[in-house]
Amino acid sequence: MSSFLPLLHTTMPRILLVEDDEAILANLARFLRLEGFDVTTARNGAEGLRAVEQQLPDLVLSDLLMPEMNGEALLEVLRAGASTAHLPFIFLTASADRAERDAKLRLGASDYLVKPLEFQDLLAAVRRHLAAG
C-alpha cells in the first residue's frame, strides 16, 4: 500500500519590480523573495511593459525616473489597458515633493513611497495593496 501527500499548490503573489539602480533592484528583489513573493525585475518602463505582457503581475513597484520609459509613462500605459487598469502600482522614488506625489496619485498610482525605503514600510504597503486588489 502506498501513501502519498497531495501537493499543495500555493501561488505566491507576483510582483514586478522596475528599477534602474542595480543595487536597489537587487536588494529589493532579494528582500521581497525572502518574504515569499515571486519577483520579476525590469530595468526601465519598457522592460517592465514587456514583462507585464508576458505574465500579468499582482502588483507593480516602479521607480519614477528611468531611461527609455519612465515610471509615469509605464503607469499611463497600464491604466489604459483593460487587464491592467486596476493593477496595484506603487511608485518608489527619491522625490519627497508633496505636489509630485499628489499628481502621481491622481494619475492612478496606488501609493508613493520615498527612498531610502524602510523594508517594513515597503512590505506593509505591498501587503495592503495586494489585499485591497
Q: What is the pLDDT of residues 45-66, one digit of tens each?
A: 999 999 999 999 999 999 999 9
Rounded percentage of the chain residues whose pLDDT exceeds 90? 89
Closest among 106, 108, 65 to 87, alpha carbons compared: 108
pTM: 0.90
Q: How far is Cα 107 from Cα 95, in angstroms, rounded to an integer?
A: 16
- pLDDT over threshold 90, residue 15: yes
Cα dihedral 31, 124, 78, 108 sign: negative
- pLDDT over threshold 70, residue 6: no
The contacts of residue 76 (CB under 8 Å, 6+ apart) are 107
Residue indicated by cell numbers 502519498: 4
Read off the C-alpha cell for 85.
487598469
Q: How far is Cα 91 from Cα 115, in angstroms, rounded to an integer?
A: 10
Q: Answer whether CATH 3.40.50.300 is correct for domain 14-132.
A: no
Are 66 and 54 spatial neighbours (Cβ–Cβ below 8 Å)? no
Rounded mean pLDDT of 69-92?
A: 97
- CB-facing half-sphere around the CA of 16: CA atoms within 13 A: 31
